[in-house]
């Protein structure tokens, strides 16, 4: 018993100390930064207080009864066991309360469903385990994954204290950027399994389902950075695909958008040059390492060791060390029914050539050959 007490005391002390260390923690739903999120918050508080009120009455009656109607106080049991009036009252009264609740809930729901007359649309695609954002009609299209610092700290036995990492697990390499005060429509889908896109400050989450397109919208009042996470179990790294939305003023957004377009043009030109001129093996390996880290480590692991039984190793793999065609086919087209997706839909020719070359000549493999982007392009 003493041991147990010590454990309790120790735990309580530890908790108290750590709450002093980072005092900011939420008890309630965030009010959020959109009209919708405020309405949802109001509904939440309304139903909460209704429950509290009913609870006070119900538990009050129980506690009263337990205090005063106990045998040790000499209470003698009455033998009543039926009352039509009571049954009717406690059927009808809750029913009326429910109707009162249902009216505002219906209103908010209808409002949330109305994604018409949006100022702009963004297609959001869930991948295992990152998000892709395509600005429809703007030629801006990028992936957004967990930032490097969090990713390093979250490895099993990393020995890095998460509290030293900025926005641990809630930070990404490239955030989604949207303008303030505009109705932004999201078209949500997924490429592999079901994900769910959720930023609590926006007041909703919506599933991203492969083969289907869901619709949702947001109109944010104030610029800022808003964070969320994937909310539908999507495999091993479900807990590691955060969402970060930067809401900028209209002018800043326009600047950002122009810069993005510029970058995309440069990247495309580079890719085309590489396609025509080819790259040295060293360049390919160097680029391949970047691509590998961003796309492959979640399953195949940092050193290519994989996870026994689930994710095959790259190091010493018969496929990687065998004829290159088979490996190219695997990387480009994936393997149906597994987490290995068709990367030809995610990576460009340079990236595919680079990562294939990298795998053959690194991670404990030394086949010694390489593949050019043009060869990949020919297989598309």
Find residue 101's DSSP bridge partners. none
Residue 211 in the binding site for another protein (CB under 8 A):
yes
- Residue in the structure block whose two tokens are 């919506």: 206
> Taking the CA atoms of the chain, what radius of gyration do you get in angstroms?
28
Q: Does 212 bind another protein (CB under 8 A)?
A: yes
Report the residue number, 92 or 266, with the smaller CB distance to another protein. Answer: 92
- Position 117 contacts another protein (CB under 8 A): no
In the chain, the largest separation of any two C-alpha atoms, in whole Å, equals 98
Interface with another protein includes 106 (CB under 8 A)?
yes
Site for another protein in 8-37 (CB under 8 A): 8, 11-12, 14-15, 18-19, 22, 24-30
* CA end-to-end distance (rounded Å), the chain: 69
Closest CA to 37 of 184, 221, 202: 202
Q: How many residues bind another protein (CB under 8 A)?
A: 113
Residues 6+ apart with CB under 8 A from 250: 179, 180, 181, 182
DSSP state at residue 278? -
| Binding to another protein in span 162-181, by CB under 8 A | 162-163, 167-170
Among positions 228-247, residues that touch another protein (CB under 8 A) are: 228-240
Of residues 56, 109, 255, 302, which one binds another protein by CB under 8 A? 109
309 binds another protein (CB under 8 A): yes
| CB-nearer residue toward another protein: 122 or 234 | 234
Question: Which tokens is 29 given?
Answer: 């739903």
The C-alpha atoms of residue 343 and residue 269 are separated, in whole angstroms, by 21
**Residue 115 near residue 218 (C-beta atoms within 8 A):** no
Phi then psi for residue 321, to 5 deg, are -85, -5
Judged by CB under 8 A, the stretch of 147-155, 178-186, 266-274, 346-354 that binds another protein is 147-155
Q: Which stretch binds another protein (CB under 8 A): 95-103, 257-265, 283-291, 321-329?
A: 95-103
Nearer to another protein, 275 or 340 (CB): 340
CB of residue 152 vs another protein: minimum separation in angstroms?
Answer: 11
* CA gap 59, 270 in Å, rounded: 70
Q: How many CB atoms lie within 10 A of CB 326?
A: 12
Region 65-84 residues binding another protein, contact defined as CB under 8 A: 65-66, 69-72, 75-83
Q: By CB under 8 A, name the one of 2, 5, 85, 91 that touches another protein.
A: 91
Interacting positions 32-51 with another protein (CB under 8 A)? 39-40, 43-44, 47-48, 51
Out of 13, 56, 58, 267, the residue judged to bind another protein by CB under 8 A = 58
Structure tokens that stand for 309 in this block: 């039984």
Which of helix, strand or coil describes residue 225? Answer: strand
Which residue number, 237 or 349, has a Cβ lying nearer to another protein?
237
| Minimal distance, residue 168 CB to another protein, in Å | 5
CA distance 244 to 146: 10
Q: Is 297 in the site for another protein (CB under 8 A)?
A: no
- Chain positions 328 to 357 lying near another protein, rule: CB under 8 A, are 337-339
Nearest to 127 by CA among 241, 47, 227: 241
């Amino acid at each position: 018993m003493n041991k147990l007490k010590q454990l309790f005391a120790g735990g309580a002390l530890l908790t108290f100390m750590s709450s002093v260390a980072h005092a900011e923690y939420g008890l309630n739903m965030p009010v959020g930064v959109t009209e919708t999120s405020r309405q949802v918050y109001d509904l939440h508080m309304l139903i909460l207080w209704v429950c509290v009120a009913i609870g006070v009455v119900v538990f009050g009656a129980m506690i009263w009864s337990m205090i005063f109607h106990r045998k040790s106080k000499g209470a003698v049991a009455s033998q009543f066991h039926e009352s039509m009036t009571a049954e009717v009252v406690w059927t009808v009264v809750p029913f009326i309360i429910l109707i009162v609740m249902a009216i505002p809930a219906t209103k908010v729901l209808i409002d949330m469903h109305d994604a018409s007359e949006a100022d702009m649309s963004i297609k959001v695609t869930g991948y295992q385990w990152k998000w892709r954002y395509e600005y429809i009609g703007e030629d801006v299209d990028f992936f957004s994954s967990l930032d490097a610092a969090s990713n390093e700290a979250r490895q099993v036995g990393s020995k890095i204290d998460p509290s030293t990492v900025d926005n641990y697990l809630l930070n990404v390499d490239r955030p989604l950027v949207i303008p303030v005060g505009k109705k932004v429509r999201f078209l949500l889908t997924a490429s592999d399994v079901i994900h769910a896109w959720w930023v609590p400050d926006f007041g909703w989450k919506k599933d991203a389902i492969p083969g289907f397109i869901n619709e949702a919208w947001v109109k944010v009042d104030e610029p800022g950075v808003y964070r969320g996470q994937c909310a539908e179990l999507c495999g091993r790294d479900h807990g590691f695909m955060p969402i970060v939305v930067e809401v900028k003023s209209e002018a800043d957004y326009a600047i950002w958008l122009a810069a993005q377009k510029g970058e995309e043009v440069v990247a495309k030109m580079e890719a085309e040059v590489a396609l025509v001129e080819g790259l040295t093996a060293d360049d390919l390996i160097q680029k391949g390492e970047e691509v590998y880290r961003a796309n492959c480590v979640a399953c195949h692991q940092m050193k290519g060791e994989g996870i026994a039984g689930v994710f095959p190793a790259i190091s010493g793999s018969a496929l990687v060390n065998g004829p290159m065609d088979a490996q190219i086919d695997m990387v480009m087209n994936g393997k149906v029914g597994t987490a290995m997706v068709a990367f030809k839909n995610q990576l460009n020719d340079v990236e595919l050539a680079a990562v294939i070359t990298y795998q053959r000549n690194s991670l404990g493999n030394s086949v010694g050959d390489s593949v050019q982007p043009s060869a990949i392009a020919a297989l598309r």
